Structure 1
Amino acid sequence: MKSASEHDKIQDYGDWLSGEWEAMSNEALTPREEEEERLLTVLEQVGRRMRKESALLGDRRGDVVGIRQEFWDDVRVNFSDSTEVGETWSSIMQQKELLLERERSHRIATEVVDRLTKQFDSPYFARIDFREKGIGDPTEAIYIGRASLVGEDGETFYVYDWRAPVSSLFYDHEPGSATYRVPDGWIEGELTLKRQFVIRGGQMKFMFDTSETVGDEILQAVLSEGSDTAMKSIVATIQKEQNVIIRDEKHKMLVVQGAAGSGKTSAALQRIAYLLYRFRETLGPNQIILFSPNPVFKGYISRVLPDLGEANMRQMTFRELIEARLGRRFEVEDLFAQTEALSEEGGQNAGETRERAVRYKGSEHFFATVENYLKKLENSGVRFRPLRFRGISIVTEEEIAEKFYAIQASDGFGTRSANVRRWLLEKLNDWVESQLDAKWVEEAAELVEIEDIQRAYVDVRRKGGFHDEVFDDEEQMTIRLRRRVAEDCIAPLVKAVRSYRFIDAPEVYRDLFENRGVFMACAPDGKLPPNIEWMLQRIDDSFGRKMIDHEDATPLMYISEALEGFRKVEDEIQHVFVDEAQDYSPFQAAYLRRRYLRARFTVLGDFNQAIYLQSQDSGGFGGWTRLMAPETTSVLKLTTSYRSTEQIVAYTKKILSQEDAASITPFHRSGEVPRLTVCSDGGSLGESVVAGISELSARGYGTIGIIAKTARESGDAAAVLKELLPDEIPVSLVTGGAAQLPKGVSVLPSYLAKGIEFDAVLVWDASASQYGQEKDRKLLYTVCTRALHVLRVFAIGEPSPWLPTGGAIDG
């Protein structure tokens, strides 16, 4: 919100604009001067709207404050009898509705003022001149910005929203013949001019005529800016290939393979903004879900959609989905912990055996096996937990199974489980009634607190008691007390039934591995995995300790949800976005497709950054391209890397194999050559990194990332840096639970750096001992591509064999 004094400044500026416009209108103008004159006109419109909306906002704020202060003065309070209580309640609800309506109006007015404030700073970034075919009218000049601006007459468009159909001409075409799509078809015509602007603080800084989508001058200026702790919305620099992603309405599965820094995530967020604009009558933010790679990334992108004038979509990590389903009963290993464990066990027999299990349980073969297993379970094999209380059997496992399988299989697991759930709740209610005269209930009722007695009294009063038959009323109170005692005692059982915990999904999952005949019958090729004995033993050990390995979490979650019936709320999701999709196993990809069966998918990633074992055998995208019919699937590629300087891109390409690096093209933005520093020991490493941080901080770089391989190493590095650096250079250790990237120096493990960028990156110990194996190659590439402007690599002893031999080397 702007302060009152700031709004006065805007009004004064509006008066100045009027004078400037009159002075300029009396002279012959150059194109630049014409554009500046037009900018003054637009800013005058924005200023006029700002003053009007600010006044309205003040009124709305006053209304809200007044209603809150006088809320109880306007409510008639009387509890003398039931009629008066009803009138009191009605009065309170009327005041509540009035307050909610005023608060909604205040929120809308605030959003309008915020949008106008941004427009006053930079109302538009492009102009296109378009002559529609078959129309005798002259060429129309169309100005494009982050939000539309319509005159007070409701007809004059000063600025078009970047998501409007006509705005696609700017992103998709060079001057000449051009078309754009509208809901009813295509509009043909001629594009006669493309012009770009950089407007800041209401002042025109630059103006370029261009034949490309976005002129290099504009893009250079934007990319040269410093990084921030949150991603920016850069609709002015959308490239043609990104615009195809943003506006795709045809395909149900959109797979985007993009080089590091190619704008995949930006395009995804702008696609969300476009969809919310295009389908605003039928699509809301709560019907879109984005899966982010980690909590840090969630915070990093949280500002983009609000900057584009839209509310944020639902956002979660796959880890949070697992925790929501399994975390109440088990301690579930996350992907990062699995990666650390596999790294520590590397080269050992146990580690290699588990690696094979991780690869298999993430495969399409295992998903098909589980699918077939679920079909078999339609007729038999589902395991249930009996309901017991103090050793007393209320409902046995056999009774539940009989009830479950008495319901016809064609109704589906969801209907069967829901019917059993209702039946079990009735059985528990009947059991409570049967225990009212039991000795344990009588004894417990004698020990109840005074509050329970008062609640029982109120219950009897509500039912019309305590009038004539006093003896009967006291008996009813006793019964009510006993019933409450019994209900409280079995409340955990009721809660368990309501959450479907009578289905023993872990045992169902375990049975698949124990019964080899069933496994072979369900496997697509009729074969067992070679280490199935080890898998069963591992499941027994971990489940016995109430723990679940990460590779077991998704299959168990799938079986559990399938048996319960997928929640109805998931049917409401219309679009699913998956960032860093190359990190998902084929099993996880297929599971998400099954979970959000009615949704369209947009998945984005870079197979050169596939750093996790579970996805390294998936051919790049974990089977995403095979989840839907070919005619409804589109695979697009973004090959130009815009994030890093040309020197950094050239350096990081050499980390990859020649084949993997072939399609990566750097954007022509020059910078310093990456530097490798070889250190003799850990002490020398710390001193060298500290010297680098001090130098880069003095040069004004706002975000500096110190990236170590593991969480343990990043913790050690943070401790060293905090000890050696002066207090004026803050050092923050970023962990898996962090929700926001801090300013200054951030120390983090490699796997948390996915999708994030820093002005400068200093790689902590890129030695052969750390990054010496083939599986480390893409991880090292991922780490180094986080740098926008400066990349420094440090190694103790022999550097990683994947690092380029050229470039600057310090010893």
Structure 2
Amino acid sequence: MAPGAGTFASQHPSPDHHPSPTAPSAGTLASQHPSPHLDPLQRERAHLAASRAALRAMREDAQALNIADVTANWVNAEVLQGEIDARIKALADLAHTPLFFGRLDYLHAPGLDLAEGAEGENFYIGRRHVHDADGDPMVIDWRAPVSQPFYRASKKDPMDLRLRRRFGYTTGELTAYEDEHLTDPAEAETTSALLQAEIERPRVGPMRDIVATIQPEQDEIVRAGIGGSVCVQGAPGTGKTAVGLHRVAYLLYAHRERLARSGTLVIGPNRSFLQYIEQVLPALGELEVKQATVDDLVAHVEVRGTDEAAAATVKGDARMAEVLRRAVRSHIALPQEPCVVVRGSRRWRVPAYELEEIVRELMDRDIRYGAAREALPQRIAHAVLVRMEQAGEAPDDRVQDAVARNAAVKAVVKAVWPPVDPAKLVLRLLGDADFLAEQADGILTPEEQKTILWTKPVRSVKSAKWSSADAVLIDEATDLVTRTHSLGHVVLDEAQDLSPMQYRAVGRRCTTGSATILGDIAQGTTPWATDTWQEALAHLGKPGSAVEELTQGFRVPREVIAYASRLLPAIAPDLTEATSIRESAGDFAIRAVRPADLDSAVLGACRDALAKEGSIGLIAADARIPVLRTALEEAGITCLAPGAETSAAARLTLVPATLAKGLEYDYVVLDEPAAIVDGEPDERTGLRRLYVCLTRPVSGLTVVHAADLPGQLTTTAGADD
């Protein structure tokens, strides 16, 4: 918890050292400024109370808006009312969420219109903008340019700051503050105790924002321009997910109108992960950002089947894109007969060779199949109109449209460029060995073709037991026929696990926009996990994008990340080992037990964790989950499913190893590491899965094992077994 009010008394200057402007200004207003006779903490509390009152007034003003006479029709009224409702929702004052978390005292007035001509102003930095009845700001949005020094200023580069103040809160009440005098050479630069306390605060419930603790290297990524895409390679606990979410919030602030038109999307690895992060953006006032998994994006068919790893790997290979392209274009047939259009008493003939020229031209342009099919009747109609004009007639556009709809023209289009149903195309490709061999010739080996062929005939799209990889193939085929809608910005988290075809599916959603790609090569746990970000970015359609590496951890305790990093030489030898700024070493124990005592030892570790404050994750190999669930029930210990919100009555979550990625808990009890490794198709993938599981705790880790630990972890310094 945050330190109490008296914790930093030795660092607090007297009230005389905190002069306030006498004229209304940004952040501190003469009409509402607390009495100078109050101590600094009381004055800050008074400003908090005044800011909350101003926020309530802003919300009441929005609720009082009457749009009855300002809209032209009911459609406009519905749209406007929707915007007002969203505004009202965004202005909600969350009682346990600090309205501001910092204050900046500038030496000179920043070059902003709201502060023009003023000197030495101070600004309160918070999650949203709050102004008083006169429109003067009381809290500045953390995304505003004037707020940037809160995250980046240092003794070496104070960025024109005299003082940076951080606030500590307990259940929404302001309880402490801490000052940094950035231009005072006598004051040494030290780690902020309040910042450390906020970083180490227990994780209860879903993921929270890190807006008060963003570090300089994180802020650079958050505020990167919208013009380019950014890839973040982040070790466990470095805050890469939070950085990606805050980057969305920043871009929506800086490019509101543009992204309101084009849309934004956050893509996560699974539903549990999305449930875990879903409150971060709303807490920052951003309510319209959609969230989805890759499976959601490609949900053209119902997924009811699964693939063997070998089949899924081939289906996810980028070469499948060319196989599908060939399959789609295989439907095109060159004309063999002329097209004769009858209009009134006249017959207009377009010979087969001219039709072939039109078809070949459309093929050479390599436009989407559906767009070319729509263009073909117009091109044929144009050829007819040329003949009409040569005969002395004067046809107009209406005549051309009529000719394009002529039965003879339609017949040619149907024969030459027939419609293609993407799902039926993939159905045929996976079910017809001869068709697959023809389209995959020179691309897939005969063995690879055999791997992805269905063993039993499937009669229809509805009866097929489609897999997730099949759905991605259908999405690729769909895009070959009709262009996929592109968004303004896409955040892709846990990106290291995507197949090349999945990267392509995501890339189609941001062809005209930018992307933030988040991941960790060391945590790649699929057979097709990427080995380099350059390769992944190429598949995504964003080659040459900047790759930033985050190696300073804020979440995982030092001893835990050091222990997990023993696996790096085997799973990702080129990555830099992560460090941790957490002052607390964390609770760390390794308990070796007899096989017969494993379950009881795991329950004992869970009880020990429940005696402490915070959330607990019991992580185990998927095959062990039913056994442990039964043991927990018999012991009277309530357990939650991954992604479910914890409470005082239920703080322990039973987590299959395959769903642990992206989640975090104050304390983790890790059951039988060897079973986690053995649950994967190969040792490298298993060790990567184990690395993920080891790096989920925030405060402590207890490893309980009966089987031998993997060789990389056999050194047990610091353990208690």
- Whether TM-score is above 0.5 comes out as yes
Choose the corresponding residue for 1:123, options 80, 97, 100: 100
Choose the corresponding residue for 1:663, options 577, 600, 605: 577
Q: CA offset at residue 231 of structure 1? A: 0.6
Q: Secondary structure at the match of 1:315?
A: strand
Distance in 2, Cα, partners of 1:629 & 1:245:
17
Distance in 1, Cα, partners of 2:157 & 2:166:
19
1:646 alignment counterpart:
558
For structure 2, which runs of at least 5 residues remain unmatched after alignment? Answer: 1-29, 183-187, 336-355, 378-417
Q: CA offset at residue 52 of structure 1? A: 4.0
1:24 alignment counterpart:
37
Distance in 2, Cα, partners of 1:663 & 1:810:
25
Distance in 1, Cα, partners of 2:537 & 2:686:
24
1:359 alignment counterpart:
313
Q: Secondary structure at the match of 1:705?
A: strand
Distance in 2, Cα, partners of 1:265 & 1:318:
17
Pairs within 5 Å for 1:103-252: 108-109=87-88, 111-114=90-93, 121-131=98-108, 138-154=119-135, 156-175=136-155, 190-200=160-170, 201-209=172-180, 215-249=191-225, 251-252=227-228
Pairs within 5 Å for 1:196-345: 196-200=166-170, 201-209=172-180, 215-249=191-225, 251-284=227-260, 287-322=263-298, 324-327=299-302, 331-333=304-306
1:554 alignment counterpart:
472
Distance 1:643 1:541, change over 3 A: farther
2:537 alignment counterpart:
624
The aligned amino acid for 2:37 is M
Distance 1:510 1:377, change over 3 A: farther
2:588 alignment counterpart:
674
Choose the corresponding residue for 2:673, options 766, 769, 772: 766
Distance 1:776 1:50, change over 3 A: closer
Distance 1:502 1:59, change over 3 A: closer
For structure 1, which runs of at least 5 residues remain unmatched after alignment? Answer: 1-16, 26-32, 68-92, 179-188, 343-353, 382-401, 422-496
CA contact (8 A) 1:615 1:622 kept: no
Residues 577-621 of structure 1 deviation map (CA, whole Å, 9 limit, x = unaligned) = 1100001012211232134321211110001100111215x4357
Residues 624-672 of structure 1 deviation map (CA, whole Å, 9 limit, x = unaligned) = 25645655x1110110121111111111111322735643112233234
Q: What percentage of residue pairs aligned between the two structures are identical?
A: 24
2:694 alignment counterpart:
784
Q: Secondary structure at the match of 2:599?
A: helix
Distance in 2, Cα, partners of 1:213 & 1:598:
44
1:714 has 2:625 as partner:
yes
2:602 alignment counterpart:
689
2:344 alignment counterpart:
none
CA contact (8 A) 1:127 1:194 kept: yes
Distance 1:233 1:143, change over 3 A: same
CA contact (8 A) 1:285 1:311 kept: no
Q: CA offset at residue 561 of structure 1? A: 3.6
**RMSD between superposed Cα atoms in Å:** 4.1
Distance in 2, Cα, partners of 1:315 & 1:380:
44
Distance 1:149 1:55, change over 3 A: closer
Q: CA offset at residue 509 of structure 1? A: 5.5
Distance 1:607 1:195, change over 3 A: same
Q: Secondary structure at the match of 2:560?
A: helix
Q: CA offset at residue 535 of structure 1? A: 2.1
Q: CA offset at residue 289 of structure 1? A: 1.0
1:798 has 2:708 as partner:
yes
1:531 alignment counterpart:
447
Q: Secondary structure at the match of 1:131?
A: coil
Distance 1:774 1:587, change over 3 A: same
Distance in 2, Cα, partners of 1:95 & 1:412:
38
2:507 alignment counterpart:
593
Choose the corresponding residue for 1:520, options 436, 441, 458: 441
1:413 alignment counterpart:
369
Q: CA offset at residue 332 of structure 1? A: 3.8
1:746 alignment counterpart:
653
Q: CA offset at residue 197 of structure 1? A: 2.3
Distance in 1, Cα, partners of 2:81 & 2:504:
46
2:483 alignment counterpart:
566
CA contact (8 A) 2:51 2:139 kept: no
Q: CA offset at residue 543 of structure 1? A: 8.1
Pairs within 5 Å for 1:372-451: 408-409=362-363, 410=365, 412-416=368-372
Distance in 1, Cα, partners of 2:127 & 2:712:
43
2:382 alignment counterpart:
none
Distance 1:643 1:797, change over 3 A: same
Q: Secondary structure at the match of 1:235?
A: coil
Distance in 1, Cα, partners of 2:465 & 2:564:
39
Q: CA offset at residue 713 of structure 1? A: 2.1
Distance in 1, Cα, partners of 2:92 & 2:273:
29
Distance in 2, Cα, partners of 1:806 & 1:138:
59
The aligned amino acid for 1:803 is L
1:609 has 2:523 as partner:
yes
CA contact (8 A) 1:197 1:208 kept: no
Q: Which moved more, 1:103-112 or 1:588-597?
A: 103-112
More helix per residue: 1
Q: CA offset at residue 312 of structure 1? A: 4.1
Choose the corresponding residue for 2:497, options 548, 566, 583: 583
Distance in 1, Cα, partners of 2:288 & 2:80:
22
Distance in 2, Cα, partners of 1:102 & 1:285:
18
The aligned amino acid for 1:195 is R
Distance 1:265 1:47, change over 3 A: closer
Distance 1:688 1:754, change over 3 A: same
Distance in 2, Cα, partners of 1:537 & 1:100:
49
Distance in 2, Cα, partners of 1:20 & 1:165:
24
Q: CA offset at residue 770 of structure 1? A: 4.3
Distance 1:248 1:687, change over 3 A: same
Residues 425-463 of structure 1 deviation map (CA, whole Å, 9 limit, x = unaligned) = xxxxxxxxxxxxxxxxxxxxxxxxxxxxxxxxxxxxxxx
Distance in 2, Cα, partners of 1:502 & 1:758:
41
Distance 1:507 1:626, change over 3 A: closer
Residues 669-701 of structure 1 deviation map (CA, whole Å, 9 limit, x = unaligned) = 3234522222322x4111111111112112233
Distance 1:581 1:622, change over 3 A: farther
CA contact (8 A) 1:649 1:666 kept: yes
